[in-house]
Amino acid sequence: MNIQLNGQAVILTDSTDPISLQQALDHWQQQSLVRPPFAVMLNGDFTPKSTYVDIQLKENDRVEILGAIQGG
Amino acid sequence: MLKFWEQFKVGNMTAQAKPFDIYGTQLNSRLLIGSALYPSPKVMQDSIQASGAQVVTLSLSRQNPQKQGGQTGQSGGESFWQIIQSLGVHLLPNTAGCHSVKEAVTMAQMSREIFQTDWIKLELVGDDFNLQPDPIDLVKATEILLNDGFKVLPYCTDDLVIARHLVELGCKVIMPWGSPIGTGKGLLNPYALQAIRDRFPEITLIVDSGIGAPSHAIQAMEMGIDGILLNTAVAHANQPQMMARAFKGAIEAGRLAYEAGLMVERQQASASTPTLDSPFWHHTQY
């Protein structure tokens, strides 16, 4: 499954089995691509943490992982 | 009754000694400080501590674990997020870079989830040159966020009517600019800021952006402005930590002066030392 992660194309899995957003995030955390605390946008919309388990990712979904940075 | 020459400027006769309150949280420091633009994370940490600020602004961006010094950086130094957490300050996330109501609302919602606060510094860019807020979308986004339980600190221009709309929606804090972000030009329109202060005496008024020197902060505080939010003035100083201390002192001095009540400005000179019976006193003929 091809996914856009923070604007870059990544191959999330070679399997055709469905994968939840939570599973994808766990996978990316193991690869140190994601680190708490973070928030998620899926296809341009804020996606609350409580929904990660229920959302099934689809081909070419755009996932944005946001974290804290300096700001004025 | 004021003498003829005293009526042109009235001194500070109605100063309010009210505590500094942000949506029910009372703070000792009236300086809010940004976390951006410092030469290093250590300088940022030292400057924030030297400022005495109890509120620090920060923002959101795409995570980049490989970026040194970033939230997830493994550079060996402390990450930004770890430093901010260690300071024990109130976090004030901003919606910097948002150009639409949807962008600002989305960013606010993500900030609330990450930072576990419903405070939000609402910035909605209306012009990419002077970064002034879009006043119409600012009001729309404020209404949406207030209805969603956010405590909105809207960054606005010095327009009295926009301020009135924000107050009528339920904002307890208004943050008008002194001048465009990062310019250091100070208070470009003190008349307009004074008008907002006078019209909404119960609102917490924080001048946000454009402050360049401690004297700008003193000027604002002497007018009765409740607080100052700044970033560039400290971060881009030659010695940020020392400048942070300077601003701390300036803001404290300005507030004390306001509460003490400034003298009445006069047109005609008035001798401080009594002249009657001084050795060379003589009656002056006009």
Nearest-CB residue to B70 (from A32, A65, A69) = A69
Q: How far is B242 from chain A (nearest CA, A)?
A: 19
Q: Which residues of chain B neighbour A32 with C-beta distances below 8 Å?
A: 65, 72, 74
Q: Which residues on neighbouring strands pair with residue B61, listed in sequence order?
A: A67
Please answer yes or no on whether B71 and A7 come within 8 Å at the CB atom.
no
CA-CA-CA-CA torsion sign (B67, B68, B71, B74): positive
**Could you report the per-residue pLDDT of B203-227, keeping only the tens digit for each?**
999 999 999 999 999 999 999 999 9
What confidence category does residue B76 fall into, taking pLDDT thresholds of 50, 70 and 90?
very low
Nearest CA in chain B to A71: B58
HSE, CB side, 13 Å, CA atoms: give it for residue B92. Answer: 28
* Min distance B94 CA to chain A CA atoms (Å): 7
- By residue count, chain A amounts to 72
Q: Is B183 on the interface with A (CB under 8 A)?
A: no
Whether the CB of B70 is below 8 Å from some CB of chain A: the reply is yes
pLDDT, tens digit (0-9, with 9 covering 90-100), for B108-126 = 999 999 999 999 999 999 9
Q: Which residues of A touch B228 (CB under 8 A)?
A: none
Q: What is the model's pLDDT at position B272?
A: 84
Token digits of residue B38: 């410092």
The amino acid that residue B99 corresponds to is: H
Task: Give residue-wise pLDDT tens across range A1-49.
Answer: 888 999 888 877 777 678 899 999 999 988 888 888 999 999 999 999 9
Residue B220: C-alpha distances to residues B12, B156, B178, B216, B246 (Å): 13, 16, 9, 6, 15
Is the minimum CB–CB distance between B2 and chain A shorter than 8 Å? no
Q: Is the dihedral of CA B151, A50, B67, B96 positive or negative?
A: negative
The whole model's pTM is what? 0.89
Which residues of A touch chain B, with CB atoms under 8 Å apart? 6-7, 32-35, 37-41, 44-46, 48-49, 64-72
Query: Is the Cβ–Cβ distance between B96 and B124 less than 8 Å?
Result: no
Looking at the complex, does the CB of residue B100 fall below 8 Å from at least one CB of chain A?
Answer: no
Going by the DSSP 8-state scheme, the letter that residue B98 receives in this structure is -
CB contact B231 to A (< 8 Å): yes
Q: Count of CB contacts below 8 A, A vs B?
A: 99
pLDDT confidence tier of residue B282, bands split at 50, 70 and 90: low
Chain center to CA of B80:
23
More confident residue, A53 or B282: A53
Three-state secondary-structure class, residue B117: coil
From chain A, pick out residues whose CB is under 8 angstroms from the CB of B65: 32-35
The alpha-carbon radius of gyration of chain B (Å, integer) is 22
pLDDT of residue A17: 78
Residues with Cβ within 8 Å of B261's Cβ and at least 6 positions away in sequence, in order, are: B11, B12, B13, B15
Catalytic residues of B: 121
Please state which of the ranges B82-91, B175-184, B260-269 shows the lowest mean pLDDT.
Answer: B260-269
Task: Nearest by CB to B113, from A6, A49, A65: name it.
Answer: A49
Q: Do A70 and B94 touch (CB under 8 A)?
A: no
Three-state DSSP state, B204: strand
Asked if pLDDT for residue B43 goes beyond 90, the answer is: yes
Q: What is the pLDDT of residues B229-266, one digit of tens each?
A: 999 999 999 999 999 999 999 999 999 999 999 998 88
